[in-house]
Every structure is written in structure tokens, then in C-alpha cells.
């Protein structure tokens, strides 16, 4: 191997002194000489051992760091250490390995430099960066074409969240008019994401099959997908508990009656118990950094994405409407709206089941407008 300076490794100019030490054993006889190596004070004072490391070794270490980073600061601290680490950390090979948690940028810290960094990672072929930047551009920066293109780039690489997000866009006709909805394309994208094990896609596909929405109705097959989604959610909860060293018995419980859902009256009930109907309390799945960014971005704007527009009522989603009356409202109370059936199912189990109150009649606050009255979605 050769270093950045073109020298062989280890460097030939780093000399060592050989010090001969004579020792005596317990009987007083001379033992064989032992050589102890140490760096010469003169040479060691003028050399940088970090420069002796080969370039490919440093890049390999940085790639491992970027793929295992738990927050953006883990990687930023490397960038500001020295010029050599800064230049190597921005190599395409390192950026292409970055994990999704490396892109967990807070909305309040969004800047042009953060935008450029995500763009560099996306150009390096990082599918997580393509998806995160695509979501930010499509929903926050309202650059629909570029955002959808980046999400499609991630979807081509079989990125399940990107496939599911594109399915939601197709179901709602986001970025266009009501006539731009393509239910069959949404089902196809959802089926691909479900094949890759995406829980929300499995749940969405199950409801589509049960309702005959964009696909021929098949209640039995739809129910099978819903059960599979619940099973995968339980497996994900068990996996996260083992990683976090949390005792499974502390959150996975069983009772003959459904577990109460978290409300103001039950503030100590944790998680999103999708299996609570079967007596299991499963912790809420962690939201993707892109969804967290959307939630914070529009939360700082009082939850109003635009005049007459609304956010998805599921707290872990953050998707806004791109036109009036795009999302469907609850058919019972009309007080909440959702971008997808998956978000509706999650929010129903999380909080809305305890809050939903039927009314005789509900209308939009500002009356009929835009594309007409909202579609309704039945609670189940």
C-alpha cells in the first residue's frame, strides 16, 4: 500500500532506536538480550503518524462510520477535525454508505449547506438521501418535479419507503388535480413496497383489497395482508427492544380486554397498540427522519401548510395537502383527515378511537370549494 504522499506503508523514514537491555535471572546469570523499540524523539517530534495511514484504509473507516452514525453530529465532528478527514469524508464512496439517521436534520437547522450536503449524498447514489431530499423538496420546498424524481430514483433501487410514498402520491393525485389520481399505479407501487416488507404498505394494500379500492375486492386476501402487517410490527417491536436492552415483559403484555389507548385521561399508556384488540401493547414504530422533518417543518408554521390546506392527522406522518380537500376525512366525526388508510389505521388505534364522536352532519369550515367535498374514510 502507498500513502497519500506516495510512500510505502509503514514509512521508511520513521526510524526507531534499538535499545539493548540486559537482565539477570533469579540465579544471577545473564539472560538473552531483549530489544525494545521506541520512536526516536527527533523523528517522532517531526512526523504525523496519521499521514502514514493509507488513503483506502481511512476511507474504509469513514465509510463504516457514516453507515453506523446515529445522528448528524457524529459525521460533522469528523468533517471539522482536519483537512484530510474532511476531503475523504466527502468522497462518493463514503457518502453512498451513509445511514438514514445521518440525514435526521431538524427543520429549524435547515440551510443551504444542509441542502447541498443532501444533494451530494444523493448524487453519490445514497438512496436514503434521495428519499429524504425528495420528500423535503416535494412537500416543504414545493418543488414537485424534482422531489418526485428523487423519490423515483430511490424507488428504482427498491427503497420501500420511497415506493410507498409514491403510492400515496398516486392515490391522492398530490401535486396535481383530483383527475390526476391513478389508483392502479398506487396499488402497484404499494404491492412492491409490501413485497419488500414495508409495514404501512402491507396495511394500505390490505385495506385496498378489502374495500376494492384500485383493485378487485378480495376481503380474505386483504385480511391476510393486515394480519401480516401486525405480525411484522410485533417483530419490529421485539427487535428494537432487544437492541435497546428493554425487557419485553415491560411493554408486551396480554389481557382478555383491549388495552386503553393513550389520551389525556390515560397519559401513561405508551406506544401505538395495533395489536391491542388482541391484548398486546406494541410500542409505536419510530418515524422516518423524512417524516420527522415534515412534522417539525409544518409544526413551526402552526400546522398550516397553506391557505385552506391541512396536515395528515397521524402524528408520525407530517404529509400536507397539496390542494384543497385532497385528504379524506373521518366518516364519523369529520374532525380528522388522513393521507392514506395506513395512517388512518395507526391514528385510530393511537388516539382517535377514544376521541371520535359521531355528529349528525359536518361540513367543511369554509364550505364547499376547490375540488368539492372531501372523501370520507370509514373507521375500522
pLDDT of residue 76: 87
CA separation (Å) from 67 to 51, 92, 103, 113, 350? 24, 13, 11, 21, 32
Q: How confident is the model at residue 259 (pLDDT cuts 50, 70, 90)?
A: very low
Mean pLDDT for 306-315 is 89
Q: How confident is the model at residue 270 (pLDDT cuts 50, 70, 90)?
A: very low
CA separation (Å) from 269 to 154, 261, 351? 36, 7, 11
Contact 324, 309 (CB under 8 A): yes
Q: Is a pLDDT exceeding 70 seen at residue 209?
A: yes
pLDDT of residue 287: 85
CB-based contacts of 370, cutoff 8 Å, min separation 6: 308, 323, 324, 325
Quick: pLDDT tens for 67-107.
998 888 888 888 888 888 889 999 999 999 999 899 998 99
End-to-end CA distance of the chain: 63
Rounded CA-CA distance 134/138 in Å is 6
Q: Is a pLDDT exceeding 90 seen at residue 206?
A: yes
Quick: pLDDT tens for 162-197.
999 999 999 999 998 889 999 999 999 999 999 999
Mean pLDDT for 318-323 is 92
pLDDT of residue 341: 87
How far is C-alpha 253 from the chain's CA centre? 27
pLDDT of residue 84: 87
Between 151 and 378, residue with greater pLDDT: 151
Single out the residue of 371, 338, 370, 347 nearest to residue 168, CA to CA: 338
Strand blocks (E) in the chain: 16-21, 34-39, 328-330, 337-338, 376-377
| Cell numbers given for 252 | 408486551
Out of 215-224, 246-255, 264-273, 292-301, least confident range? 264-273
| DSSP class of 37 | E
Q: How confident is the model at residue 250 (pLDDT cuts 50, 70, 90)?
A: low
Question: In the 3-class helix/strand/coil scheme, how is 141-159 assigned residue by residue?
Answer: CCCHHHHHHHHHHHHHCCC
pLDDT of residue 370: 41
Out of 3-17, 198-212, 218-232, 264-278, least confident range? 264-278
Break the chain into its structural domains and give their ranges.
289-354
Phi, psi at residue 18, to the nearest 5°? -105, 115
Mean pLDDT for 295-324 is 89
pLDDT of residue 233: 82
Q: How confident is the model at residue 275 (pLDDT cuts 50, 70, 90)?
A: low
Rounded CA-CA distance 95/148 in Å is 21
pLDDT of residue 361: 53
Mean pLDDT for 127-148 is 94
Average pLDDT over the chain, rounded to an integer: 78
Between 239 and 365, residue with greater pLDDT: 239
| Cell numbers given for 243 | 437492541
Q: What is the DSSP string of 278-344?
A: GT--PPPPPPPHHHHHHHHHHHTTTT--STT--B-SSTTT-PBPSSTT-SEEETTT-S-EESSHHHH
pLDDT of residue 25: 45
Neighbours of 329 (CB within 10 A): 22
pLDDT of residue 374: 54
| Cell numbers given for 101 | 439517521
pLDDT of residue 359: 66
β-partners of residue 170 are: none
Q: Is a pLDDT exceeding 80 seen at residue 239?
A: no
How far is C-alpha 158 from the chain's CA centre? 15
Mean pLDDT for 346-373 is 63
Q: What whole-number percentage of the chain has pLDDT above 70? A: 70
Strands 376-377 and 328-330, by their bridges, are: parallel
How far is C-alpha 140 from the chain's CA centre? 17
Out of 58-62, 72-76, 264-268, 344-348, least confident range? 264-268
Q: Is a pLDDT exceeding 90 seen at residue 371?
A: no
Amino acid at each position: 500500500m502507498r500513502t497519500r504522499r506516495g510512500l510505502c506503508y509503514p514509512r521508511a523514514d520513521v526510524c526507531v532506536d534499538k535499545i539493548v537491555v540486559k537482565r539477570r535471572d533469579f540465579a544471577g546469570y545473564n539472560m538473552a538480550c531483549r530489544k525494545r523499540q521506541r520512536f526516536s524523539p527527533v523523528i517522532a517530534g517531526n512526523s504525523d503518524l496519521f499521514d502514514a495511514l493509507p488513503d483506502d484504509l481511512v476511507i474504509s473507516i469513514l465509510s463504516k462510520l457514516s453507515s453506523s452514525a446515529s445522528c448528524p453530529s457524529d459525521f460533522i465532528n469528523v468533517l471539522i477535525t482536519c483537512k484530510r478527514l474532511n476531503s475523504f469524508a466527502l468522497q462518493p464512496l463514503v457518502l453512498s454508505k451513509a445511514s438514514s439517521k445521518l440525514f435526521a436534520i431538524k427543520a429549524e437547522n435547515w440551510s443551504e449547506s444542509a441542502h447541498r450536503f443532501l444533494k451530494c449524498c444523493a448524487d453519490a447514489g445514497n438512496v436514503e438521501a434521495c428519499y429524504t431530499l425528495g420528500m423535503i423538496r416535494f412537500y416543504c420546498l414545493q418543488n414537485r418535479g424534482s422531489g418526485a424524481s428523487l423519490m423515483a430514483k430511490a424507488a428504482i433501487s427498491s427503497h420501500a419507503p420511497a415506493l410507498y410514498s409514491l403510492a400515496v402520491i398516486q392515490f391522492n393525485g398530490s401535486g396535481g388535480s383530483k383527475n390526476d389520481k391513478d389508483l392502479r399505479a398506487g396499488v402497484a407501487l404499494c404491492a412492491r413496497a409490501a413485497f419488500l416488507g414495508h409495514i404501512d404498505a402491507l396495511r394500505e394494500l390490505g385495506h385496498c383489497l378489502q374495500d376494492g379500492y384500485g383493485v378487485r375486492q378480495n376481503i380474505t386476501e386483504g385480511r391476510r395482508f393486515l394480519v401480516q402487517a401486525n405480525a411484522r410490527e410485533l417483530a419490529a417491536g421485539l427487535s428494537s427492544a432487544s437492541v435497546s436492552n428493554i425487557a419485553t415483559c415491560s411493554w408486551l403484555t396480554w389481557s382478555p380486554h383491549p388495552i386503553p389507548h393513550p389520551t389525556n385521561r390515560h397519559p401513561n399508556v405508551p406506544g401505538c397498540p395495533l395489536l391491542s384488540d388482541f391484548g398486546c401493547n406494541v410500542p409505536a414504530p419510530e418515524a422516518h427522519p423524512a417524516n420527522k422533518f415534515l412534522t417539525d417543518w409544518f409544526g413551526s408554521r402552526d400546522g398550516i401548510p397553506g391557505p385552506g390546506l391541512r396536515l395528515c392527522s397521524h402524528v408520525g406522518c407530517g404529509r400536507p395537502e397539496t390542494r384543497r380537500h385532497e385528504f379524506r376525512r373521518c366518516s364519523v366525526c369529520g374532525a380528522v383527515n388522513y393521507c392514506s388508510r395506513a395512517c388512518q389505521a395507526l391514528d385510530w388505534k393511537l388516539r382517535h378511537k377514544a376521541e371520535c364522536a359521531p355528529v349528525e352532519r359536518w361540513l367543511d369550515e369554509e364550505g364547499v370549494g376547490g375540488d368539492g367535498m372531501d372523501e370520507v374514510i370509514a373507521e375500522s
